[in-house]
Amino acid sequence: MIRGQLRGEVREPALTRLMALTSLDAPAVAALNDALAHAHPIRVRRDVITEGREIAEPLLLLSGWAARVRLLPDGRRQFLSFLLPGDLIGWCDHPYALAVSTVVAMSDVTVCPLPPAETGTPLHAAYAISRAMDEGHLLAQITRLGRLNAQERISDLLLELHERLTLNGTANSNGFDLPLTQETLADALGLTSVHVNRMLQQARREGDLQWRVGHVRLSDPAGLARKIGHAPVRVSAR
Amino acid sequence: MIRGQLRGEVREPALTRLMALTSLDAPAVAALNDALAHAHPIRVRRDVITEGREIAEPLLLLSGWAARVRLLPDGRRQFLSFLLPGDLIGWCDHPYALAVSTVVAMSDVTVCPLPPAETGTPLHAAYAISRAMDEGHLLAQITRLGRLNAQERISDLLLELHERLTLNGTANSNGFDLPLTQETLADALGLTSVHVNRMLQQARREGDLQWRVGHVRLSDPAGLARKIGHAPVRVSAR
DNA sequence: CGAACGTTTGATCTGTCTCAAAGGTGGTGG
DNA sequence: CCACCACCTTTGAGACAGATCAAACGTTCG
């Protein structure tokens, strides 16, 4: 069945994404199948990895959402980035690597060990591209927090998530499941949940989006992107 | 003379930093010497690399400050991170890599081609550690912008810069040269230059720091770090 | 001496926060 | 099948951090 997913009979988000990054060869597919056999679940709110602790082994996120998060001594919380199926967790090239941030499960998730990849192989290239995109998302987050207003921050983040979920086949046209509360959104966007609520209402009134608990639909992603000057992350000339 | 610097007779900030990250072996030193022979200057305000363009070759920043920056269509500007002597620029593992951000020289700088390093060598480890620290700095920037107030943002950034400059031997005890205006500081911290000015005055009044054009002195870095809950980036258990 | 650049100051405005409470909604158990 | 609970979302009123606009003040340097 898992092999079947690789052949495309069933969509497996994580694999869809990796294959979208670069065309994988037979050894890569074999390695992925092997790793999938060691998949294991992690419950919502549990840490996937913990800041400052040594990284046991790099992981591949198979299903569910996770987030990198930082907690301040006084209780303030900042989500640094969101991790979606197909994203890598803790892939470092140096020995005795420490996790630079905690990763917490935002929903029930499943992960598996990251299949090892030799330098120069297609799988390695996929990982490298994935890492570059991750970096792009961090830069986008910095720009959002530093120079966008509340309305723009929300739209920009939702557009990014929509693009990423489209890449792994998890978004249906303009809508997608979003296992986040307005409060977590606020802690990602440097706002309060009260203000996120008001800005979401405004966006709905203006017809930009629809919001149900756990689900969002963007009326016109391309138009919204134009409206706020959002550009998707690009890391490879292909 | 350049060989002399490697032997420690003269401090070369970029090399000081790389050696601080991991102990380099003879081949690494040879490769670095070779690269230093191809150093070239870039003038202040000039682009070192440009967002969206293919990366010609990865670089090592030898002297001067650079910054990763993003410009919005309407003229808003966000500095994403600062690059100091010893920092890597554009080191990617995948083919046809595009620069995810523009890097601009904040002062006159010199760069050289990044000496190639095979996987598993000490030099490669130094690069990997450097990349992990870069990521840590991006995460710190996100937290600053998302959850710190103006006063905390300024202190936190100055502490980070002080730590990094100490690592490459460029800070003298508690003071360091800072080739930034209050305006650039504002564009890094998501504030206006007027407000940065007022917060700097307040910090001076409270005795936390001294500011001259191009130079800062922190009265008590450790105390300030404790006061605002600042923790340095750590990426390796060593 | 003037021009360019960076810093400083003042007055006013506003986007977002804070605090507090009410309303929905889905799930669980009796 | 209803009652209750936990968790989100929504609403209101008031406060404040930081923005905006505009101008003056210092330095440095050609």
Q: What is the pLDDT of residues A5-54, one digit of tens each?
A: 444 445 689 999 999 999 999 899 889 989 999 999 999 999 999 999 99
Q: For A209-229, write each residue's pLDDT tens digit.
A: 999 999 999 999 999 999 999
Q: Degrees (nearest 5) of the Cα angle A41, A42, A43?
A: 120
State the DSSP H helix or E strand holding residue A226, giving kind and residue range, or none if neither: helix A221-228
Out of A73, A119, A190, the one facing B119 most closely (by C-beta) is A119
Q: Residue with CA nearest C16 C1'?
A: A195
Q: What is the pLDDT of residue A197?
A: 98
Picking from B143, B148, B191 by the largest number of A CB atoms within 10 A of its own CB, the best residue to mutate is: B143
Q: How far apart are CA A90 and CA B184, in angstroms?
A: 33
Query: Whole-model pTM?
Result: 0.95
Q: How far apart are CA A26 and CA A64, in angstroms?
A: 27
Q: How far apart are CA A95 and CA B238, in angstroms?
A: 8
Nearest-CA neighbor of B200 among B192, B191, B209?
A: B209
Residues 6+ positions from B57 with CB-CB distance below 8 Å: B90, B113, B114
Q: What is the pLDDT of residue A6?
A: 43
- Tally C-beta pairs within 8 A across A and B: 143
The span from the first CA to the last CA of chain A, in angstroms, equals 31
What residues pair up with A116 in beta bridges, in sequence order?
A: none
Q: Identity (one letter) of the amino acid at A107?
A: S
Q: Residue with CA nearest D10 C1'?
A: A197
Q: For B18-67, write each residue's pLDDT tens digit.
A: 999 999 998 998 899 899 999 999 999 999 999 999 999 999 999 999 99
State the DSSP H helix or E strand holding residue A60, giving kind and residue range, or none if neither: strand A59-63
B129 and chain A in contact, CB less than 8 A: yes
Contact between B41 and B108 (Cβ < 8 Å) = yes
Q: What is the pLDDT of residue B175?
A: 95
* CB–CB contact A73 B229 (8 Å): yes
What residues pair up with B70 in beta bridges, in sequence order?
A: B78
* CB–CB contact B235 A94 (8 Å): yes
Give the Å distances, CA to CA, from B8 to A47, B3, B5.
44, 9, 5
Q: How far apart are CA B137 and CA B164, in angstroms?
A: 10
* CB–CB contact B236 A96 (8 Å): yes
A24 and chain B in contact, CB less than 8 A: no
A192 touches strand C (CB under 7 A): yes
Write out chain A residues lying below 8 Å of B81, CB-based.
Answer: 142
The tens-digit pLDDT sequence of chain A (238 residues) is 344 344 444 568 999 999 999 999 989 988 998 999 999 999 999 999 999 999 999 999 999 999 999 999 999 999 999 999 999 999 999 999 999 999 999 999 999 999 999 999 999 999 999 999 999 999 999 999 999 999 999 999 999 999 999 999 999 889 999 999 999 999 999 999 999 999 999 999 999 999 999 999 999 999 999 999 999 999 999 8
Q: How far apart are CA B139 and CA A48, in angstroms?
A: 18
Strands (E), B40-157: 40-42, 47-49, 59-63, 66-71, 77-83, 88-89, 102-105, 109-113
Q: Which residue of A has its CA nearest to B75?
A: A147
* CB–CB contact A78 B142 (8 Å): yes
Q: What residues of chain A, 37 to 96, have a C-beta less than 8 Å from chain B? A: 52, 54, 68, 70, 72-74, 76-78, 80-81, 92-96
What residues pair up with A40 in beta bridges, in sequence order?
A: A111
Q: What is the pLDDT of residue B238?
A: 80
**What residue ranges of chain B have pLDDT lower than 70?**
1-11
Q: What is the pLDDT of residue B12?
A: 83
Q: What is the pLDDT of residue A2?
A: 41
Picking from A69, A70, A124, A139 by the largest number of B CB atoms within 10 A of its own CB, the best residue to mutate is: A139
Write out chain B residues lying below 8 Å of A92, CB-based.
Answer: 128, 132
B120 and chain A in contact, CB less than 8 A: no
